[in-house]
Amino acid sequence: MNNTLTKADIVDSITEKVDQPRGEIKQRVESLLAIMKSAIVRDHALLISGFGKFEAYAKKARKGRNPQTSESITLEPRKVVVFRLSKKFRDQLN
Could you give the domains of the chain? Answer: 1-43 (no CATH), 44-94 (4.10.520.10)
pLDDT of 1 over the 70 cut: no
Nearest to 53 by CA among 87, 91, 92: 87
Please tell me the predicted confidence (pLDDT) of residue 3. Answer: 86
Q: Which residues, at least 6 apart from 45, have a Cβ–Cβ distance to it below 8 Å?
A: 39, 53, 54, 55, 56
- DSSP secondary structure code for residue 18 in this structure: S
**Residues above pLDDT 90, as percent of the chain:** 97
CB atoms closer than 10 angstroms to residue 85: 14
pTM: 0.78
